[in-house]
Structure 1
Amino acid sequence: MHPTEKAAVSTRIIGLISGTSVDGIDAVLVEVSGTELDLKVELLVGKTYPYPSELREKILAVGAGVAISMAELAEIDDAIAQVFAQAAQNIQIGHQLATLIGSHGQTVYHRPPKEGAGGAGEQRSRGREMLTPLGYSLQLGRGELIAYLTGITTVSNFRVADIAIGGHGAPLVPRVDAYLLSHPEEGRCIQNIGGIGNVAYIPPRYGDWLSQIRAWDTGPGNSLLDLAVEHLSAGAKTYDENGNWAASGTPCHPLVEQWLNQDYFHLPPPKSTGRELFGVTYLHQCLKDAQEYQLNPADILATLTELTAASIVHSYRTFLPEMPQRVLLCGGGSRNLYLKRRLELLLASIPVLATDEVGLNADFKEAIAFAVLAYWRHLGIPGNLPTATGAPQEVLLGEIHQSQFLVLKQEQ
């Protein structure tokens, strides 16, 4: 047991997250027991609740760097918390109520730490002369308001503790992946494809296996694809269902090779990224580059899909100690059949499956992970993995917001 760890009992928890694609709030109700190696999670129900269209547009604008006032930022923060709280209430209908919520919130800005930022001690020693600032990550949808509106203790703001000691605050899910998806004899890559792609390489579960896990953001996932679909369809579509549109085109491989020269793909892990890099500006540059090859819309989508697949495989071959024996996909991109086929082709003989096929729902794995991180925070168990985030040590993740609503009810 960790020094602060409480005894674990079976707990009903809600996990909430909206990813970089801003396509809705993924909500789960899960039953969690055990602690780490004996961790068990049962998914009772999972649903995605779309944002109101006006709120989604505001979130996308903020993420794209549109200037707003502090008053407007506060309004968006409150509005996100309210729809997250509504999702938490709705997911419980017909079920025994949860006693804890883990809410990731909505990322609107992410800045990785500068190279060489180091840990907290190094930062303190520089004092005012500090030249390599810590990272910064902003998730809206404040936990205290969710706790107030739902009457359920809420854990939120998971990334800041890791960032405060020099880590990237991302990716945070690999420790959960390690205990739910590791195998005693098989090395695995758990590849999430949300708006941004991220991988956790998990070696076979023996010896000092936990310290050998590696994880990082691989680059664009669905972010460029969704933006391109909206642009190319003049707003009629927001995503490429099953990758059907891209599948009707032909990828331009010289263009993919050109794009893979982007600096991010060659930075060694730990590393993290977001829409700040792979967003609207990046897409417009891609579209400009494509003009030279006279690509039609289907070809453009096929080429952007190839970039996602090729950047994932490039990162494996460049940064992994060895190639995995199996790749397990999760996130919205795992349902893009064309993208999955391209990954299978580029990975040759390595099987590519969805996490569903090993017992963990691929659509809601990230929401499940934040339910587990809230559970660990409640028990006093660290949630980060230093080999994934670059932090110098393990830390407790998340800020706990007790439900004042429940306290008031008890006092009456």
Structure 2
Amino acid sequence: MHPTQEAVPTRVIGLISGTSVDGIDAALVEISGTELDIKVELLAGVTYPYPAELRERILAVGAGVAISMAELAEIDDAIAQVFAQAAQNIQISHQPATLIGSHGQTVYHRPPMDREMGKKTTPYSLLPTPHSPLGYSLQLGRGALIAHLTGITTVSNFRVADIDIGGHGAPLVPRVDAYLLSHPQEGRCIQNIGGIGNVAYIPPQNGDWLSKIRAWDTGPGNSLLDLAVEHLSAGAKTYDEDGNWAASGTPCHPLVEQWLNQDYFHLPPPKSTGRELFGVTYLHQCLKDAQAYQLNAADLLATLTELTAASIVHSYRTFLPEMPQRVLLCGGGSRNLYLKRRLELLLPSIPVLTTDEVGLSADFKEAIAFAVLAYWRLLGIPGNLPTATGAPQEVLLGEIHQSHYSVLRHEQ
């Protein structure tokens, strides 16, 4: 598919709130080029916390608390409003953007029924009903309202087009990773550690390299750690800063090995997951399993952190065509120094760096990616990678919402 518009330098805002519901990551970038020649300059990156009450409501919905359709609409609009405010705030002291790419807030994700495992994928469902052969993913924070409030054309709902043709709708960032972080001679794993971990294996840039990219969700990232910290601190803390609490404990390796027997870790890619599997219920099972080992709080956090690290390495050794020559971390988990050290120990011959060290912000890479996906959407460039999502073909990602704000303002 060829671009439908000329690629000119464009100022774009990327917005995303991840599985951890930490807040809205906003990135203001200037983009030029198209694919191999694409250039992205980060002008500003800021994380805007959710209002505490809204965050609690989002976490409750994600945990399966029943709400009415009226409440769902209210939360949808409330998320859009804080996303729009983030977009407006990040432009202060900068030339205005002409486009927004908003991932929104995922509150539910169900992968498609695996053709080989069939109904064995039931951990994703709480209902005794047959699985649809198509997946389902719901991101709140509707793009039409963001466009209306900001006066800026907004692309949103990126996952649907891939899901509609049989893909997982995740992970969506690998195509962006391929063009921003690939290397002529070096195979790389780009490992995002948000609430859920996901990897993109990018082979060296030669031959039909794009078709050899592999990507999937590796399992829990920060989600279990954050839930455990909140539980163990009786709500006094929401995350383990730098991994310091976990670093004061000792991981229980037999327990990690037990947890790695979970079906998801052995399901071959393409695959995706979320809090529906690695959430509160899973944590409670982990706490129950840990009772036999009489772990203290620090040991438990160290063991859960080890699960994140071990599941990442298990994924590489089990499903990659070959081990990478370098691992580049991004996302909130890249700041967890203890987690990074554990990965380094489990991958002794492979350098483990962050994307900061190769020129792309580790904190805002995901927000930057959705700015790029929005830019590609306007140019008519596909955003998914079938080898990552399992879709049968490339498709345009995202729904375009034109703004009529300037017209409305003029009429007032």
Moved over 2 A (4+): 3-6, 123-129, 406-412
Contact 2:182-2:203 within 8 A present in 1 as well: yes
Per the TM alignment, residue 2 of structure 1 is displaced from its structure 2 partner at its CA by 1.4
Determine the C-alpha separation between the residues in 1 that align with 2:118 and 2:346.
48
For residues 387 and 404 of structure 1, the distance between their equivalents in structure 2, rounded to whole angstroms, comes to 38
Distance 1:408 1:31, change over 3 A: same
1:411 deviation in Å?
A: 7.4
- 8 A Cα contact 2:32 2:40, kept in partner: yes
* Cα distance in structure 1, aligned partners of 2:342 and 2:247: 10
For the residue of structure 2 that corresponds to 1:77, the secondary structure is helix
TM-score (norm 2): 0.94
The alpha-carbon deviation at position 193 of structure 1 amounts to 0.0
In structure 2, relative to structure 1, the CA distance for the partners of 1:300 and 1:61 (3 Å cut) is same
In structure 2, distance between residues paired with 1:111 and 1:395: 20
CA contact (8 A) 2:326 2:352 kept: yes
Contact 1:162 1:169 in 2 (8 A): yes
Q: Contact conserved, 2:192 with 2:198, CA < 8 A, in 1? A: yes
For residues 296 and 211 of structure 2, what CA distance do their matches in structure 1 show?
47
CA distance in 1, matches of 2:327, 2:17: 24
Offset at residue 381 of structure 1 (A) = 0.4
**Structure 1 contact 5–381 (Cα < 8 Å) conserved:** no
- 3-state DSSP of counterpart to 2:109: strand
1:4 Cα deviation after fit: 3.5
Q: Give, in whole Å, the separation in 1 of the partners of 2:119 and 2:69.
A: 27
**Corresponding residue SS for 1:125:** coil
- After superposition, the C-alpha distances for 1:227-273 in whole angstroms (9 at most, x for unaligned) are 00000000000000000000000000000000000000000000000
Is the CA contact (8 Å cut-off) linking 2:199 and 2:218 kept in structure 1? yes
- Residue 322 of structure 1: how far off its partner (Å): 0.1
Q: How many residues align?
A: 400
Task: Specify the alignment match of 2:153 in structure 1.
Answer: 153
Q: CA deviation at 1:407?
A: 3.8
TM-fit CA distance, 1:157: 0.1
Contact (CA 8 Å) 1:12, 1:30: kept in 2 or not? yes
Closer, same or farther: CA 127–60 of 1 in aligned 2, 3 Å: closer
SS of alignment partner, residue 343 of structure 1: helix
Q: Identical aligned pairs, as a percentage?
A: 90
Aligned partner of residue 115 in structure 2, secondary structure: helix
Question: Separation in 1 of the partners of 2:109 and 2:83?
Answer: 21
Aligned partners of 2:401, 2:118: CA distance in 1, in Å? 31
In the superposition, relative to structure 1, how do residues 249 and 393 fare at CA in structure 2: closer, same or farther (>3 Å)? Answer: same
Change (3 A) 1:319 1:344: same
Corresponding residue for 1:117?
A: none
Q: Conserved in 1, the CA contact under 8 Å of 2:12 and 2:31?
A: yes
* Structure 2: runs of 5 or more not aligned: 121-131
**2:3–2:379 contact (8 Å) kept in structure 1:** no
1:333-380 CA-partner distances (Å, limit 9, x unpaired): 000000000000001110000000000000000000000000000111
Q: How much does 1:127 deviate?
A: 18
CA distance 1:126–1:62, shift in 2 (3 Å): closer
Instruction: Indicate conservation of the 8 Å contact 1:255/1:290, yes or no.
Output: yes
Shift of residue 179, structure 1, vs aligned partner = 0.1
How much does 1:5 deviate? 5.0
CA distance in 2, matches of 1:124, 1:220: 24
Unaligned runs of 5+ in 1: 114-122
Report the equivalent of 2:365: 365
TM-score under structure 1 normalisation? 0.94
Secondary structure of the residue aligned to 1:307 is helix
Distance 2:151 2:3 in 1: 30
8 Å Cα contact 1:226/1:240 also seen in 2: yes
The CA RMSD measured in Å over matched residues stands at: 2.5
- 1:124–1:258 CA distance, 2 compared to 1 (3 A): closer
